[in-house]
């Protein structure tokens, strides 16, 4: 029987994506990475999905790479094999950032290596008290900068904290992650999904295109060449959005003291 490596639950305009290899601590094998890559890449054209919640079954969010879970090509050398695996996993993190839907992650237990990067690539992170995150790569003779960690982590927590953890591979606890702003809140594991869904419901109160373009602007302006570039992007987005039918509906609903009826146009 083929392993169902992820499950997808539709809750209206919200989809809950669950890593489903609890017996392997949700470690990344090839089917899991392919499923995540296909899913996040496919979100580009799915206007029916407005928010994604990423979670995991069992006691761990993701323990990193499953070294036994990748197909071997007998005609390829170790460099080619490693490069194929490396690029496939990296593409998942990139697809998460490029998809127009906000990704809310809720995590418990170990989130190591690639599992840590899945959290870093998300837009909002909630964590259980037992979360233990690390850039595990440096612990196995590799560099600590992998799967986007050297890009995401300094932007989220600053260069000093990022260097502390990337140069050692040591574990970051829930208290530390909260103190440095890496996670939004520490939540009991049994309440994680409810917390994420409540935030998703708040996001659904906004105009669909406004929500998508807000994620877009946040992504682009993290790397803005100057303050002027950042303001320029915001100005263009706001003027464009002000001409949409949903913007007209929002103003009408405000004066009529009712909730807007979004049409996504």
Each residue's pLDDT tens digit, 171-226: 999 999 999 999 999 999 999 999 999 999 999 999 999 999 999 999 999 999 99
Residue 140 pLDDT > 90, yes or no? no
Each residue's pLDDT tens digit, 217-257: 999 999 999 999 999 999 999 999 999 999 999 999 999 99
Residue 2 pLDDT > 70, yes or no? no
At 69, the pLDDT band (50, 70, 90 cuts) reads: low
Q: What is the pLDDT of residue 71?
A: 74
* Tokens found for residue 203: 């996001």
Average pLDDT over residues 84-95: 93
Q: What is the mean pLDDT of the chain?
A: 94
Average pLDDT over residues 142-156: 94
Distance of CA 95 to the CA centre of its chain: 9
At 3, the pLDDT band (50, 70, 90 cuts) reads: confident
Order of all β-strands in the sheet with 172-173: 110-112, 132-134, 172-173
| CB proximity list for 55: less than 8 A, separation 6 or greater | 16, 17, 18, 19, 61, 105, 106, 107, 192, 193, 196
Written as one string, the DSSP assignment of the chain is -----EEEEEETTEEEEEE--GGGTT-B-HHHHHHHHHHHHHGGG-TT--EEEEEESSS-SB-SB-TTSS---TTS-HHHHHHHHHHHHHHHHHHHHHSSS-EEEEE-SEEETHHHHHHHTSSEEEE-TT-EEE-GGGGGTS-S--TTHHHHHHHHH-HHHHHHHHTT-PPEEHHHHHHTTSSSEE--GGGHHHHHHHHHHHHHTS-HHHHHHHHHHHHHHHT-SSHHHHHHHHHHHHHHHHTSHHHHHHHHHHHHTS-------
Average pLDDT over residues 147-161: 96
Q: What is the pLDDT of residue 83?
A: 84
Each residue's pLDDT tens digit, 6-65: 999 999 999 999 999 999 999 999 999 999 999 999 999 999 999 999 999 999 999 999
Look up the pTM and report it.
Answer: 0.93
Q: What is the pLDDT of residue 1?
A: 47
122/104 Cα distance (integer angstroms): 6
CB 249 within 8 A of CB 261: yes
Residue 166 pLDDT > 60, yes or no? yes
At 68, the pLDDT band (50, 70, 90 cuts) reads: confident
Average pLDDT over residues 102-124: 98
């Amino acid at each position: 029987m083929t392993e169902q490596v992820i499950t997808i639950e539709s809750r209206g305009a919200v989809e809950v994506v669950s890593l489903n290899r609890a017996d392997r601590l949700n470690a990344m094998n090839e089917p899991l990475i392919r499923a995540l890559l296909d899913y996040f890449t496919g979100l580009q054209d799915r206007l029916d999905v407005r928010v994604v919640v990423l979670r995991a079954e069992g006691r761990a969010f993701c323990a990193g790479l499953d070294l036994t879970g990748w197909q071997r090509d007998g005609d390829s050398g170790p460099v080619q094999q490693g490069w194929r695996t490396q690029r496939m996993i990296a593409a998942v993190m990139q697809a998460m950032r490029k998809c127009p839907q906000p990704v809310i992650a809720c995590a418990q237990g170990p989130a190591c290596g690639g599992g840590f990067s899945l959290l870093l690539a998300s837009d909002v992170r909630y964590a259980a008290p037992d979360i233990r995150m690390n850039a595990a790569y440096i612990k196995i003779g590799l560099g600590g900068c992998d799967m986007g960690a050297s890009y995401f982590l300094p932007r989220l927590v600053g260069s000093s904290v990022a260097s502390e953890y990337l140069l050692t591979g040591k574990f970051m606890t829930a208290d530390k992650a909260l103190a440095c702003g890496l996670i939004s809140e520490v939540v009991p594991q049994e309440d994680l999904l409810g917390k994420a869904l409540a935030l998703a419901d708040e996001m659904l109160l906004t105009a669909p295109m406004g929500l998508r373009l807000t994620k877009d602007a946040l992504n682009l302006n993290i790397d803005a060449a100057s303050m002027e570039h950042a303001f320029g992007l915001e100005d263009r987005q706001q003027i464009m959005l002000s001409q949409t039918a949903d913007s007209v509906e929002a103003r009408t609903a405000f004066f009529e003291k009712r909730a807007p009826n979004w049409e996504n146009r």
